[in-house]
């Protein structure tokens, strides 16, 4: 495998399984679109497309310090800080990055290409721009499939509780060894209770 992005995920989810020649070829090539399409099982193709956009943008801005750990579906979750954005139109999309302050500082620093040591307005803006960038890439893919969506401004919450009757995806990752989560929901209602920061 060319890098660490998928190494933990593959090791955990495919341990003891024989990989086909095609799967081994995909691993060796390291193409994120192919890795997601081959090794990640999700509810539908739109989630696969969204995860591909997420991982490609995180890799682009964060480099090799990003690791995918596991993917689960949850109906409720409590967390530290959450930066989120909604897209609506032909499809409703909820996307968020959740983590503690240190993980979000690493994400902000990677995106801005400058070191932040406190979560100030510049670090907040950097995480929001990362969210915009990821959702913008997904919106372009949707538009190519004649699905039109509008992006709303990102919002930050602290000390959050999320709930959804049908569930949302929690994509657990690490940046420089610090855990954080990507939260994804398509055409599913997600309720958030927390302290809004913007």
State the pLDDT confidence band at 10, using cuts at 50, 70 and 90.
Answer: confident
More confident call, 97 vs 196 = 97
Tens-digit pLDDT profile for residues 90-140: 999 999 999 999 999 999 999 999 999 998 999 999 999 999 999 999 999
Write a three-state SS string for the chain.
CCCCCCHHHHHHHHCCCCCCHHHHHHHHHCCHHHHHHHHCCCCCHHHHHHHHHHHHHHHHHHHHHEEEEEEEEEEEEEEEEEEEEEEEECCCEEEEEEECHHHHHHHHHHHHCCCCCCCCHHHHHHHHHHHHHHHHHHHHHHHHCCCCEEECCCEEEEEEEEEEEEEEEEEEEEECCEEEEEEEEECCCCEEEEEECC
Domains by residue range for the chain, with CATH: 7-196 (3.40.1550.10)
State the pLDDT confidence band at 79, using cuts at 50, 70 and 90.
Answer: very high
pTM over 0.85: yes
């Amino acid at each position: 495998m060319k890098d660490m992005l998928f190494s933990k995920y593959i090791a955990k989810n495919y341990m003891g399984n024989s990989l086909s020649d095609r799967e081994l070829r995909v691993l060796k090539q390291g193409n994120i679109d192919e890795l997601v399409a081959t090794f990640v099982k999700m509810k539908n193709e739109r989630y696969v497309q969204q995860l591909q956009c997420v991982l490609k943008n995180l890799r682009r801005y964060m480099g090799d310090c990003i690791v995918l750990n596991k993917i689960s579906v949850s109906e409720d979750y409590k967390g530290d800080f959450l930066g989120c954005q909604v897209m609506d139109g032909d499809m409703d999309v909820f996307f968020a990055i959740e983590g503690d302050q240190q993980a979000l500082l690493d994400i902000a620093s990677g995106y801005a290409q400058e070191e932040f040591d406190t979560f100030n307005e510049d670090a907040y803006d950097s995480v929001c721009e990362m969210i915009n960038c990821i959702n913008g890439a997904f919106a372009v893919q949707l538009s190519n499939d004649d699905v039109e969506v509008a992006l709303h401004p990102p919002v930050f919450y602290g000390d959050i509780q999320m709930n959804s009757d049908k569930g949302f995806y929690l994509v657990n990752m690490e940046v420089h060894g610090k855990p954080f989560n990507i939260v994804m929901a398509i055409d599913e209602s997600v309720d958030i209770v927390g302290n809004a920061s913007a």
